[in-house]
Structure 1
Amino acid sequence: MTHRLKTLSMAMLALGVLSQAQAQGLRVPDATPAPSPVVGKSALAQADFIVAVVNSEPITNTEVMREAQREYQQLEQQRRAPPDIGLLLPEVLEALINRKAQLQTARDTGLRVEESAIDQAEQAIAAQNQLDVAELRRRVVREGQSVSQFRSQLSDQILLQRLRERDVESRIRVSEQDIDQFLRDQTSAAPTGDTQINIAQILVAVPESATPQQVDALKLRAQRAQERARKGDDFAALVREFSDAVDQANGGQLGLRSTNRYPDLFVQATAALSVGDVADLVRSPAGFHILKVVEKVRPGAPTMAVTQSHARHILLIPSARLSEADARRKLSDFKKLVVTQQADFATLARDNSQDGSAAQGGDLGWASPGMFVPEFEAAMNRLAPGEVSDPLLSRFGLHLIQLLERRKVSLTAEQQREATRAMLREKKLDETYLSWAQEVRARAYVEMREQPQ
């Protein structure tokens, strides 16, 4: 974890495989699921025969039933009502045809998968399920699959991902003009009830009995506060200096809420503003308001602010000298010492952690979402500031995490553009993939076979 747990290219590939494997029902549950009623007891359902041929490669009844079984199991785990079997089986068959056609395209064009890539994918799934590889394989066998079948499926998933990266992602282009147009559309779009904003305010109160001269003086005071806010002075400090609002906590922020829960005056004044902008002076019966947009969330738009976490950790790497069980017990003991204030987390990290952050007491600094591997980030996100996690297994080893603090920060203009680029790319990816998949399907020779009587 010397690289601060940032995901490397192969690690990202393994997790991409993991997410696809989970979509195929390959995530290993804690126990073998009960059989689903997808397959009847008739001899025909139990028989194996060819239902389709893709180019020269057959698809059998057994393959279709196995995939349908997985679909049912996944729906059961999600507590969702399964579809009618008569509707499900044609969908499963069509998905298998597309998959076969794509795999054939990958192999025919020279794509291959190394054993080391399959090993990494297998290790990623084991880590995600808090297992070692040996236990993962035992559970796969209990589910009715052989280890070689499981690894073959992982190989296919990696191959498909590489094919899509080469043939689909290479088609996607997001130009600077695309980003500019999207941001202009977002700025000019009228707020809807779904739009959420967080506004910080400074209120310079105007008494009902104020004379015109007093109103002018208070307006000048508000304008001074507004000018300093626009120059970048700390808004929370300006709230303490200028605001007459009763509640000055949290830097004058009114909280993230839908626009229909804000006064129309506030919504109109901030509608065209970006995060961090300060509105023109707003006059209400209460006085003069200086409004700053802290956060703005529109449906379908990338976030313009993120929550960052400041954490530290202790990493122990299992080895011949230190088993995984011993490492877990050692970290559990460390947690007890920290929680009971018998030891300092930073000192334990300096003395024991096998990560490059040990010299800094395990301090990982401020991190934005996505900087850590998912299992680490998920455990960290469940913590409140000051809390210590239970020992956590990732592909790097075993971790003990302490969350120090959290903060919400606005993205810079460049970061906002990159977030927009990623969102537009994701939208285009879905559209491009569907078009590409149809092209591959159209090029394949597909022969549907009748069921035997």
Structure 2
Amino acid sequence: MKHRVLPLALACLTALAAQAQGLRPSAGAGAMRLPSPANVLPPAGGSTGVRQADFIVAVVNSEPITNNEVVQRAERVAQQLAGQGVAMPPHAQLLKEVLERLILEKIQVQLAKEAGIKVDDYAIDQAEQSVARQNDISVQEMHRRLAQDGVSKERFRDDLRNQLLAVRVREREVDARVRVSDLEVDQYLREQQKDAAPGRMELNLGHILVKVAENASPEEVARRLERAQEVVDKLAGGADFIALAREYSDAPEGAGGPVLGMRPADRYPELFVNAVQQAAVGTVVGPLRSPAGFHILKVVDRGQGGVPTVAIQNHARHILLRVGAGLSERQAAARLEEMRERVLRGQADFATLAREYSQDGSAKSGGDLGWAGPGRYVPEFEQALDALRPGEISQPVVSRFGVHLIELLERREAKLTQREQRDMVRDTVREKKLEEAFTTWIQEARGRAYVEYRDAPQ
């Protein structure tokens, strides 16, 4: 059922877009009134029946939102919730929420266009490929399955473009303005120490899941166990945990990838906590059997106070080409792909090319970015970096800074210095401030917008 979550929860568009889609209106804001359920009608005969004639349910600054848009998006959200095992809200409430999401999305896209922000077709291509990879299918198969659900290729690409525009306008209007002071870092550390209960264990675990279907035969269970044991054997031989997770794991990944992050032990499943109770940092535990399948755990860190002492760090270098009037994202990607091929054929040196062509401050050092832990790069860059094995070079990657070519030099588990710990805390505080700043910004934008709700025709 993985393909059923395709259109909405696009991890490739970063968690920021998901936040933009999920906001609820603040109480008391008259301009943010949700429509009556009667404004939106479900398709006649259900999701597979013949649809009724379309009509406008809302107008956002003169741009319409139609009933079919809301119904189709609601169907996709319902499929996503079902695939994740989340309880389904009442249908009328789901329609309300989806309409408000579409209104917020429309406002952000309008603001992006007014600011001259554009999304090149190359970025859409990358987004499509990323969604297909997350669902373990080809782009062609993804389009076929979407068509079965009544979503054309063109409509899906338009949705991707709109969500990327929403991300980029947020980056421009919100992200660049958020700063974190040393005083705020100190305050966060004091709060963590104050909230930490005496003797309360905190863990940071790496997680690989080899899924087993609920009705799997004994032979299939044995095959899945063999696959899980293969992971354990490779880890025992010194293989890279993140690389193996990318190859073997069936677990949905959050922002930190297969490393789940420092959290109180009671926020992990009891199965996990019991298994690693006596395990030292760096130990691999498993395979562990649960109803979901076989789990392999790695104890990345343990401690108290909410501040990690160990992290998985990457040492990378990159070449950055900035896009503008004279260079599109597709053109920049083509140039970087040519450089990549030259390096892979041994005809050029990555560092030399970075010094000559990269438009980043790291160019003078051959594109070397040094060692960095989770959260230090923008999501698109970090996602591509985490997917690499040491020595590999990525395909061109689009971010708000331009188009990158990334080479992973080394990966390690490192005990963090006090300064590195503060940097990770700073990232945590910044994420919290970003959420607060975005909530304020989108509410203000929503309040300035003209939104007219239309009743369904009688």
TM-score, normalising length: structure 2 = 0.49
Tell me which structure has the larger Cα radius of gyration. Answer: 1
Compute the TM-score of the two structures, normalised by the length of structure 1: 0.50
